[in-house]
């Protein structure tokens, strides 16, 4: 397992970790969730509060697994944009895109997107790839592109739980909790009003709103 996890991740380039073998990561994630990944991600869509017609941003979208579920919730009148630093993942997502979805290469802490342009912003299992010192910038960028009254849903490895054996991302979230704070603190510092937080299998999450 340790060798597999090492092959999943490319080197750090100052902006975070890029998953080079994202399809292998999909398999590892499925195994880690014990076959519950689909159910957990449907719950994430529900927690995000995506409604028909919404404009949605999925930060750290990888191959578009969650983005496709978000697009189904947003319906034909909505639109989902996925952003990920992996060119391979974005290429894969584009080959499986619907007409209401677009994908672009980019990083959470420097989103090349207009201000106040999304009703919903999601970020799942991506924050742990952002260096701890840049996570506040990532939340600030997500806040910037959220419409006033728009919603944020961020989920990542739960730092309060024992890290998954040999998983570097889970260990990073565990270490960072003491220095940069939990997801709720990061969201509040960016300007969001935190509505709730909680746990899912393997994950903790925060729901927040950019006040009108």
Q: Which domains does the chain have, with CATH numbers?
A: 2-209 (3.40.50.150)
At residue 20, the pLDDT reads 52
**pLDDT per position as a tens digit, 35-56:** 777 899 999 999 999 999 999 9
pLDDT surpasses 90 at 65 = yes
Average model confidence (pLDDT) across the chain = 82
Please tell me the least confidently modeled range out of 11-20, 76-85, 99-108, 154-163. 11-20
At residue 31, the pLDDT reads 61
At residue 98, the pLDDT reads 82
Q: Bigger pLDDT: 98 or 174? A: 98
- Per-residue pLDDT band for 11 (boundaries 50, 70, 90) equals very low
pLDDT surpasses 90 at 5 = no
- Per-residue pLDDT band for 64 (boundaries 50, 70, 90) equals very high
pLDDT surpasses 70 at 103 = yes
DSSP string for 35-60? T-HHHHHHHHHHHHT--TT-EEEEET
At residue 182, the pLDDT reads 85
Q: Bigger pLDDT: 134 or 32? A: 134
- Per-residue pLDDT band for 188 (boundaries 50, 70, 90) equals very high
Sheet holding 203-209, edge to edge: 101-105, 79-84, 55-59, 118-124, 146-157, 203-209, 193-200
Q: Supply the pTM of this predicted model.
A: 0.81
What distances in angstroms separate CA 6 from CA 2, 18, 99, 158, one per listed residue? 6, 12, 35, 21
pLDDT surpasses 70 at 7 = no
Cα 172 to chain centroid distance, Å, stands at 15
Please tell me the least confidently modeled range out of 14-18, 78-82, 175-179. 175-179
- Per-residue pLDDT band for 120 (boundaries 50, 70, 90) equals very high
At residue 132, the pLDDT reads 86
């Amino acid at each position: 397992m340790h060798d597999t996890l090492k092959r999943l991740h490319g080197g750090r380039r100052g902006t975070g970790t890029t998953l080079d073998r994202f399809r292998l990561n999909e398999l590892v994630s499925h195994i880690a969730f014990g076959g519950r990944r689909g159910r957990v991600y449907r719950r994430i869509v529900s927690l995000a509060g995506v409604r028909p017609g919404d404009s949605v941003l999925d930060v750290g979208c990888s191959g578009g697994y969650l983005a496709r579920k978000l697009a189904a919730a947003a319906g034909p009148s909505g639109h989902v944009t996925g952003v990920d630093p992996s060119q391979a993942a974005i290429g894969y997502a584009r080959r499986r895109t619907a007409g209401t979805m677009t994908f672009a290469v980019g990083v959470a802490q420097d989103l090349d997107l207009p201000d106040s342009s999304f009703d919903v912003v999601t970020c799942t299992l991506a924050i742990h790839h952002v260096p701890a010192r840049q996570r506040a910038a990532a939340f600030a960028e997500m806040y910037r592109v959220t419409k006033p009254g728009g919603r944020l849903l961020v989920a990542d490895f739960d730092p309060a739980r024992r890290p998954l054996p040999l998983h570097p991302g889970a260990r990073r979230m565990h270490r960072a909790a003491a220095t940069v704070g939990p997801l709720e603190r990061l969201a509040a510092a960016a300007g969001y009003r935190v509505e709730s937080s909680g746990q899912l299998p393997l994950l903790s999450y925060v729901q927040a709103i950019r006040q009108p």
